[in-house]
Amino acid sequence: MNKTTDMQTNVLKISEDVLIRIIEFSVKDINGIHSLMHSRIKFVNLFSKTEAPSAVSVKLKDGAADVTVSIVVSYNCNVKQVAEQLQVRIKNDIQNMTSIAVAKVNVIIDSIAFDNN
């Protein structure tokens, strides 16, 4: 006698927006980062229906995340060290909080801030 059992598979989906929020909080904890660099408004984009790029982008591919972050660093910081700290922090935070593997973290130093604001 053969029995067929229906097995229910539970699925957990985490949106890219959640990963972006994790990244935004990761950025706040790194000394030397002034802010995220939100996209500059360009005249060409005013008449385009495409979205302007944001400061953080996440692409999920084959179960792993590819992250790109644009930041403004503070004057007198070690830019390379700040970028490396941010890469490690983002990777660890995403993997620890979501169990999603992080394939790469690209950090773009988009500007430097000379004030303390």
Task: Please say if the pLDDT value at position 76 is more than 60.
Answer: yes
Q: Is 99 left (phi over 0), alpha (psi -120 to 50) or beta?
A: left
Mean pLDDT of the chain: 85
Q: Which residue type is seen at 59?
A: K
- Answer whether 117's CB lies under 8 Å from 38's CB: no
In CATH, what class is 16-40+53-113?
Answer: alpha beta
Q: What percent of the chain has pLDDT over 70?
A: 78
More confident site: 4 or 111: 111
Task: Work out the pLDDT band at 84, boundaries 50, 70, 90.
Answer: very high
Closest-CA residue to 97 (of 2, 41, 21): 21
Q: How confident is the model at residue 9, as a pLDDT?
A: 80
